[in-house]
Amino acid sequence: MPAGEHGGIPGKTGGMTMTGIKDRIHKSNEPLGGYICLIPSAVVTQAFAAAGADWLVVDQEHAPIGIETLHAMVAATAGTNCSPWVRVPKRDEAFVKPALDAGAEGIMFPLVRTAEEAAECVDLTTYPPKGHRGWGPFVAHSRWNVEMMDYLPNRGGETVCGLLIETRAAVDNIEEICKVEGIDYMIIATFDLSTELGVSGQFDSPVLVEAIRHAENAILKSGIALGASALTKEQAQANRSRGHRLLVYGFDIVMLKQHARQAATWVTE
């Protein structure tokens, strides 16, 4: 299911008021499609946002994206209903705080293995008294079109906290992780998980399939929104049939390279 085929996406940049992404995650059952952006480019980010993505992730874990470029990419989603998230390199205030203060609406945390680590993620994305997020929306308030002193009361509770389930320990501890309050979604990272389990890229391996099903069942039972890669229409539909809400449609650099390689064959086949 390509971005743009689910509820409310077509024409959403034409002035139609949309429900915030946090409410859409928690209060509806609609699929929410998005992309991982590794190309350090506001132009690429803007194109995905304008094309109808519900969310996108600026990837600082695996891509050469610094804070200035991150800000430009987050700002490029303005004027659309695409929610800008950042995958930070690790669970650390030094990465989380600048991303949020640059205007990101959500943080995607990699390599969360325990309930204690999951609780730290929630803490880093939540203002006091419930968390310990530092106050400093000097830049972020402009992205969300509010006055600086209105950012906390109007936007502070809208931050999305997401976890990547990509290790054996996370799968083993998934029931306890799911009990942590404040987690908005979890995405099962099949590429990393398959590597962790010793079957890298073997997505039909029984050990991987069993781990995925175990994690899926626990997450769905908890009521936390579930997601994973959905790189084809068939994969997206299969994921939806198993209760997935967040559909990762692709990685910008991979999609670009695949199309360029395909185009090169148009006059040789």
User: Does a structural domain hold residue 233?
Assistant: yes
pLDDT of residue 19: 75
User: Does a structural domain hold residue 23?
Assistant: no
pLDDT of residue 269: 65
CA neighbor of 159 nearest in space, from 63, 22, 4: 22
CA distance 141 to 196: 39
User: Does a structural domain hold residue 268?
Assistant: no
**∠ CA 132-165-104 to the nearest 5 degrees?**
45
User: Does a structural domain hold residue 36?
Assistant: yes
User: Does a structural domain hold residue 13?
Assistant: no
- Residues identified as active-site: 62
Burial annotation 207-223 (CB, 10 A radius, 16+ → b, else e): ebeebbeebbebbbebe
User: Does a structural domain hold residue 103?
Assistant: yes
User: Does a structural domain hold residue 19?
Assistant: no
Q: Residue 98: which domain range?
A: 28-263
- CATH code of the domain containing 190: 3.20.20.60
H or E, element range at 74:
helix 67-75
pLDDT in tens, 71-110: 999 999 999 999 999 999 999 999 999 999 999 999 999 9
Record the tokens describing residue 203, joined without a space. Answer: 């997505």
Residue 52 CB-half CA count within 13 A = 14
Record the tokens describing residue 157, joined without a space. Answer: 């509770």
Number of domains within the chain: 1
- What average pLDDT values come out for the chain (269 residues) when binned by 10 residues? 38 48 95 98 98 98 98 97 97 98 98 98 97 96 96 96 98 98 97 96 96 98 97 95 97 96 88
User: Does a structural domain hold residue 117?
Assistant: yes
Reported pTM: 0.91
CA distance 96 to 104: 10
Record the tokens describing residue 160, joined without a space. Answer: 């999305």
Contacts of 73 (CB under 8 A, 6+ apart): 37, 40, 41, 42, 45, 58, 65, 84
